[in-house]
Structure 1
Amino acid sequence: MSTDTLTADRIEIADLFTRFARLLDEGRWEDLDTVFTDDVAVHSPRGGELRGIDKVLDFMRQAEVEGEHTQHTTTDLLVDVDGDQAAASANSIVYYYRDGQAPHFTGGLRQHFTAVRTPAGWKIREVRIMPAWTREN
């Protein structure tokens, strides 16, 4: 694999993390297929193990809290590309807040993704979300 291709893949996967975070913050559940494969597996403390994009979509809609917003910040992204698959990990801080108010809850997460190259670009096939810490403000 050429250095140019590897660099382009790493940038696209970094953008995938950002698109995922923005989708969560904006509550655009109908756009889950832009970041996840149809057979995605999501492992998280809130949802347990969810398999398939329809299960993830149902969970996201049911998990919404009226008037609560999130802001995800992602750091320390590490990407290892191997052909048409990549392992990626990052840390995230998630702020939970209501309009015009400081966050009432904050959590630090570690995320591990398996991403795959698809005809529509890189997508997440599996994600493991693990809390590192929480703080009620």
Structure 2
Amino acid sequence: MTQRVELATLMDRFAVDGLVTEYAVAVDDGDWEAYRRLFAPDGRADYRSAGGIEGDAGQVAGWLARSMELFPMRQHLIVNRRLRFGVLDQDRGDTARVQADYINPMRFAGDDDGSTAPDFVCGGRYAFALVRTDLGWRLREVVVQEKWRRMPQPRQEPAVT
């Protein structure tokens, strides 16, 4: 590889990594317009393994906006990112795939400031398919593969003696 090709590859890696981070931030912050902008025009997302829907980015953003009202506090952590460029047929370096693990702690809405509301935590793996567009890298597909979840336990009243 020439230094120019290596530099271009590094720049693409940074851009793809940044897009995955922006995805997490958009969901955590409830910025559904930013979420939609991360996708290519034909972009789709599939949250069915986590009890959600599959559809185009606009449909899924609407569903997420309603669903996330239950969880006013969210913090996506996306780790162990594995990136490959050009894995689609007839590709010339304008596509990428990322597999990344996630853990997603969220807090249920409460009657007060939320500090006593119970937590919900889930984890799994994302499969991102990306495409280079005139606007830069965009998501073509996001598939959530939820592997586990921990629901809040009912509060136990102390035994009266």
Bigger Cα displacement from structure 2, 72-81 vs 26-35: 26-35
The alpha carbon displacement at 1:68 in A equals 2.5
What do the CA deviations read for 1:24-53 (whole angstroms, capped 9, x no partner)? 000001222331112112111232321x23
2:65 and 2:71 map into 1 onto residues whose CA distance is: 14
Amino acid at match of 2:53: G
The alpha carbon displacement at 1:136 in A equals 2.2
**Does the 8 Å contact 1:6/1:81 carry over to 2?**
no
Q: In the alignment, is residue 93 of structure 1 matched against residue 98 of structure 2? A: no
Match of 2:94 in 1: 84
TM superposition outliers: structure 1 runs of 4+ over 4 Å: none
What root-mean-square deviation, in Å, do the aligned CA atoms of Structure 1 and Structure 2 show?
1.9
Q: Report matched runs for 1:1-137 at 5 Å.
A: 2-45=5-48, 46-50=51-55, 52-66=56-70, 68-82=72-86, 83-97=93-107, 99-101=114-116, 104-137=119-152
Sequence identity, in percent? 28
Bigger Cα displacement from structure 2, 119-128 vs 37-46: 37-46
Asked which structure has the greater RCO (Cα within 8 Å, sep 6+), the reply is: 1
Q: Which runs of 5 or more structure 2 residues have no equivalent in the other structure?
A: 87-92, 109-113, 153-161
The alpha carbon displacement at 1:64 in A equals 2.8
Q: Which has the larger Rg?
A: 2
The alpha carbon displacement at 1:109 in A equals 1.8
Of Structure 1 and Structure 2, the greater strand share is in 1
Tell me: CA distance 1:5–1:102, structure 2 relative to 1, closer, same or farther (3 Å): farther
The number of aligned residues is 136
Q: Which runs of 5 or more structure 1 residues have no equivalent in the other structure?
A: none
**Does the 8 Å contact 1:95/1:103 carry over to 2?**
no
TM-score by length of 2: 0.76
TM-score by length of 1: 0.89
What do the CA deviations read for 1:2-43 (whole angstroms, capped 9, x no partner)? 111111111111111110000000000122233111211211
